[in-house]
Amino acid sequence: MTHTEYLWFNTKQRQEFVRITDEVRAIVQRSGVRDGMVLVSAMHITAAVYVNDWEDGLIHDFQEWLERLAPAGRPYRHHQTGEDNADAHLKRTLMGHQVMLPITNGDLDLGPWEQVFYAEFDGRRRKRVVVKVMGE
Amino acid sequence: MTHTEYLWFNTKQRQEFVRITDEVRAIVQRSGVRDGMVLVSAMHITAAVYVNDWEDGLIHDFQEWLERLAPAGRPYRHHQTGEDNADAHLKRTLMGHQVMLPITNGDLDLGPWEQVFYAEFDGRRRKRVVVKVMGE
Amino acid sequence: MTHTEYLWFNTKQRQEFVRITDEVRAIVQRSGVRDGMVLVSAMHITAAVYVNDWEDGLIHDFQEWLERLAPAGRPYRHHQTGEDNADAHLKRTLMGHQVMLPITNGDLDLGPWEQVFYAEFDGRRRKRVVVKVMGE
């Protein structure tokens, strides 16, 4: 059995981290799947989907850290196409662009601190995440 | 068909890399699934699950490299909550927190050098990994 | 329903990025699966599989960036075994070694710019990627 929905985002900031655990859980419950997995995957290549802590200080640390490892404003060759977002491609690569969450007893089977986030690195336009549930 | 088990860890060191290929293989065999996939995913957000070489030198290299890219002891904002493990959250992000392994002919379908590891970055307490088999 | 094929690579360069979206799509179509997921996973531990832009400038940026974060030619301990490819293990870790692609209506369900790549970091020998389709 499969069930597919899409989440849409249009962030106000160019970079923004959005918690989506509740939205994914609701999709799992609508799917009727009691045991299986759900794929949550960014469909745009300057955004990430990851699992980590729901704590603003840590999100700030992630953002500083990504800026240090994959800084904006460098003379990236990608920018010769007219783009200015090469760093966003690199940042999303560090965070990962998808997660697979286990479903047990009809609900997300997460550890005590696991939260799912959408991380936008080149926002202010409409973007999509696919959520596909598979199981029985 | 699905089958779910959990692996528990309580490492003696704060940082420790544990090979878990055999444990995952045993779960796959107990599941009875002949063809499908198995998700192996850390349920705690300062631990990783990854696939790479079973070679102590390389594991040492990974640890040095992670310390260079995501050092401990920085004035992370996450530490204002009383935590001291922000670097562990970053390190686990670099290594990845889950893998999906293919199952063919009732066994893990791995390349010649692929080994599955649990990487702990904030240990000395009980933590869990979910192993969910799905297939036929 | 499952369907498994393998892609073989033998790159001329030690480091090479190869677009494989069309090969994966063809496997999905041969599988007959209309809705589900396909796992695309490198079976060798110095290669990556990732999703990002099909733009040569960006691929150049990725390569420079990986060289900066995980440089070749360092005195890695792994090299005491006679190997000289520790950096390739690190680079593949940054890029990720597998992706799971959703299948909807019998085709890959990708965003407008999503392309699947095989990234080789220690080539000039035969290596394999497993492609496993699962669904209905």
Contact (CB<8Å) C58/A77:
yes
The C-alpha atoms of residue C77 and residue A28 are separated, in whole angstroms, by 45
Q: Report chain A residues whose CB lies below 8 A from the CB of C95.
A: 93
pLDDT for res B122? 98
Nearest by CB: B39 against A35, A65, A102: A102
Chain C contact partners (≥3 CB pairs within 8 A):
A, B
pLDDT tens digits, one per residue of B108-121 = 999 999 999 999 99
pLDDT (tens digit, 9 = 90+) per residue, B65-102?
Answer: 999 999 999 999 999 999 999 999 999 999 999 999 99
- Per DSSP, the residues of A90-107 read HHHHHH-SEEEEEEETTE
Q: What's residue C93's pLDDT?
A: 98
**How far apart (Å, rounded) are the C-alpha atoms in residues A16 and C92?**
27
Q: What pLDDT is recorded for position C122?
A: 98
Cβ pair A25, A55 in contact under 8 A: no
Chains in contact with A, where contact means 3 or more Cβ–Cβ distances below 8 Å, are B, C
CATH number of B2-71+97-135: 2.60.120.460
Q: What is the mean pLDDT of each run of 10 residues along chain A (136 residues)?
A: 98 98 98 98 98 98 98 97 97 98 98 98 97 98
Q: How many Cβ contacts (< 8 angstroms) between chains A and B?
A: 83
Residues of A in contact with B41 (CB under 8 A): 100-102
Confidence (pLDDT) at B35: 98
- CA separation for the pair C21, A129 (Å, rounded): 19
pLDDT given at position C33: 98
In whole angstroms, what is the distance from residue A11 CA to residue A122 CA?
9
Confidence at residue C28, expressed as pLDDT on a 0 to 100 scale: 98
Query: pLDDT by residue (tens digit) across C92-106?
Result: 999 999 999 999 999
Question: Which amino acid does the sequence have at B109?
Answer: D
CB C7 within 8 A of CB C133: no
Give the residue numbers in C contacting A (CB under 8 Å), as ranges. Answer: 35-37, 50-53, 55, 57-58, 60-62, 65, 69, 94-96, 99-102, 104, 109-114, 134-136
Q: Which residue of B has its CA nearest to A66?
A: B90
Closest CA to A101 of C89, C131, C54, B97: B97
Q: Percent of chain B at pLDDT above 70?
A: 100
Average pLDDT over residues C35-46: 98
Work out the minimum CA distance from C37 to partner chain A, whole angstroms: 8
Q: How many other C-beta atoms are found inside a 10 Å radius of the C-beta of residue B18? A: 16
- Predicted TM-score (pTM) of this structure: 0.99
Q: How many residues would you count in chain B?
A: 136
| Beta-carbon contacts of residue B25 (< 8 Å; ≥ 6 apart) | B107, B108
Give the Cα separation of A39 and B39 in Å (integer). Answer: 11
Alpha carbon of A45: minimum distance to chain C alpha carbons (Å): 5
Distance (Å, rounded) from C-alpha C32 to C-alpha A30? 26
CB contact under 8 A, A90 and C65: yes
Rounded CA separation B82/C5 (Å)? 50
Percent share of chain A, pLDDT over 90: 100
Give Dmax (Cα) for chain B: 51
CA A72 to chain centre: 20
